[in-house]
Amino acid sequence: MNKKQIVLITGASSGIGKETAKTLTKSGFKVYAVARRVEQMIDLAELGGFPLGMDITKEEDINKVVDHIIKLEGHIDILINNAGYATQGPVEQVPIGEARRMFEVNLFGLGMLTQKVLPSMRERKSGKIINISSGAGKVYFTMGAWYVSSKHALEGWSDSLRVELKPFNIDVVIIEPGAISTEFNDVSINPLAEQYGNGPYSAMVNSLVDFSRDAEKDNKNSSPPSVITNIVLKAIRAKRPKPRYAGGAMVKPIMFIRKWGGDRLYDWIITRMVK
């Protein structure tokens, strides 16, 4: 169905990124998978993928990777901006440096990479850019202000980019995952308890940590990464992909309530989660 389309995917060392890289490689795409932890992508190489080391916040890394692929392949057909992480905690207490670092990964690094890939797509008048956002790009939750704002920013950025690139036949697609079984909680929830579990927001923090860990134990409250991988594949294969797709546990009901229930109802629901 495809003639070895060239894919560049970030954050491919675990979770959604790795699952997507595996599936696309098996489906006949030529996949360049990048992440800082190259040693965790050996299995991708064994499948026929091409792992490369890259720190999304370093412009020299981005230039090196994209130049390498363009030199070998001549172009990139599909860019999947998947790399991202969450910093959680009270707005009052999260160090601005840490919040800034998260924006560097979730938005500015993603933006630098997209800028580097775009010229070859624009010249060929062909390409797809798939940005992995989050249900948090449309809703909000306690202790998530910095993360939520980075995803809200990504959604607005992607919408503007989509309109800009329409004359060049380049699609921009937003994917909004819900609760997915990945390293996300290890990266965000454990530090939340350690750093803010004894401060002025301790009651709320510890309640949220308990809620998150209880939810993680029940597989019904999360979906495997393959759910998002299948959506990505659907968007890639679509001649006219939708601007956004949502998938994964809880995301559609929560987004529905947020949209149609109004602020007060949604505030009440998320407040109940941390009592």
Can you tell me whether residue 72 is helix, strand or coil?
A: helix
Please check the confidence at residue 1 and state whether its pLDDT lies above 50.
no
Q: Count other Cβ atoms within 10 Å, centred on residue 80.
A: 28
pLDDT band at residue 207 under the 50/70/90 scheme? confident
Q: Which segment of 1-5, 55-59, 260-264 scores lowest on mean pLDDT? A: 1-5
- Examine residue 269 and state whether it is found in any structural domain, yes or no: no
Structural domain contains residue 243:
yes
- Is 206 within a domain? no
Does the residue 199 lie in any domain?
Answer: no
Which of 106-110, 182-186, 239-243, 247-251 shows the lowest per-residue confidence on average (mean pLDDT)?
182-186
Residue 190 lies in a domain: no
Token readout for 143 is 């202790």
Q: What are phi and psi of 173, to 5 degrees?
A: -120, 135
Residue 201 within a domain: no
Read off the pLDDT of residues 50-69 as tens digits, 9 standing for 90 and up: 999 999 999 999 999 999 99
Nearest to 73 by CA among 129, 17, 127, 4: 4
Residues with a known catalytic role: 147
Q: Tens of pLDDT along 117-164?
A: 999 999 999 999 999 999 999 999 999 999 999 999 999 999 999 999
Residue 119's CATH number: 3.40.50.720
Residue 190: the pLDDT is 75
Q: pLDDT by residue (tens digit) across 161-176?
A: 999 999 999 999 999 9
115: domain range?
6-182+223-256
Domain count, the chain: 1
Q: Which residues of 136-172 are buried (b: 16+ CB within 10 A; e: fewer)?
A: bbbbbbbbbbbbbbbbbbbbebbeebbeebeeeebbb
